[in-house]
Amino acid sequence: MKKYLDLFFEIISFRGLTNNTLKSYTSYLKSYLKYVETVLYKLPEDVTWPEMRAYISFIQRSRGISDRTINAHVALIRFFTEYVLHKQWDSYQMPSRKFDQYLPKVPTQDEARHFIETLSNLKHKAIVSIMYSAGLRVSEVCSLKYSDISRENMSIRIARCKNRSERFAILSANALKILTQYWYEYGKPRDWLFPSTQKNGIKPIVQFTVNRIVNSHIGRLGWSQKINCHSFRHAFGTHLYENGTDLLTIQRLLGHKSLSSTTLYVHLAAYKNGTIKSPFDSSGGCP
């Protein structure tokens, strides 16, 4: 199966995907090719539509993965079929799954402030305060450099967003105070803003470490709600909307490619600000 993987890598390299996306795609493809080789005893180009569907059913049953992840597997098989095997894809034979969508759990403004204030480690406090106050993804926080912080413009340069474009985020005055204190106490880092302690400062802190910082503090606070690093990005957008910021501005600050991604915060904020009334209540209702 090595030749198929080599062809896949050759073609996919032209798309310029991020490392995380490449890792996911490679993992999905290896799983599929292993199934084809060890279960079906076939070459990939000879696999039938029923056999493809059987593979999808197998991984969902054996691994318990979500319908959203199943769609990612289907998309990968489609890419492999069209671009590596040069065979036509039939969406009627292999349709995408419908899946339930749930609103993410978002801390309130008071909860976000309390979470940051109770972090005893100054570096951890600086990381989370920047993540929340600017609405950054955890990958963007890890990739920050000293030169990305502009005190003059009170902005943060995000050099490589998820959608491959550059943007500027808000530099909060309160977050800057925490960041300045951290910078002086942690050796005035001039390259990576949050260098890894295990790599002698030559590499940035990794996402796993930041996730562990947040999860550990959630445990210390005794919070039962499902909060993670990305919850603080959602909180940024939600709290901006609650405070009266328009959606187009929030879209620009968060670096969303589509406004439909930003409308999530309308749903998250709608019942929290207490200003929406049912028309039944507005009309007086029944006595």
CATH number for the domain including 113? 1.10.443.10
- Residue 87 near residue 190 (C-beta atoms within 8 A): no
Strands (E), the chain: 149-150, 155-158, 167-170
Same domain, 119 and 22: no
CA 221 to each of CA 20, 114, 128, 233: distance values in angstroms, whole numbers, following the listed order: 31, 10, 15, 20
Among all residues, which ones are annotated catalytic?
A: 137, 162, 230, 233, 256, 265
Of 99-103, 160-164, 173-177, 278-282, give the range with the top mean pLDDT: 173-177
Average pLDDT estimate for 180-189:
95
Same domain, 6 and 58: yes
Q: Which of 35, 50, 84 is the last residue of a domain?
A: 84
Check pLDDT > 80 for residue 20.
no
Check pLDDT > 90 for residue 215.
yes
Same domain, 47 and 188: no
pLDDT, averaged across the chain = 86
Looking at residue 283, its pLDDT comes to 56
Same domain, 133 and 217: yes
- Residue 90 near residue 62 (C-beta atoms within 8 A): no
pTM across the whole model:
0.72
Residues 6+ positions from 64 with CB-CB distance below 8 Å:
none
Same domain, 24 and 63: yes
66 found inside a domain: yes
CATH number for the domain including 10? 1.10.150
Residue range(s) defining the domain that contains residue 70: 2-84
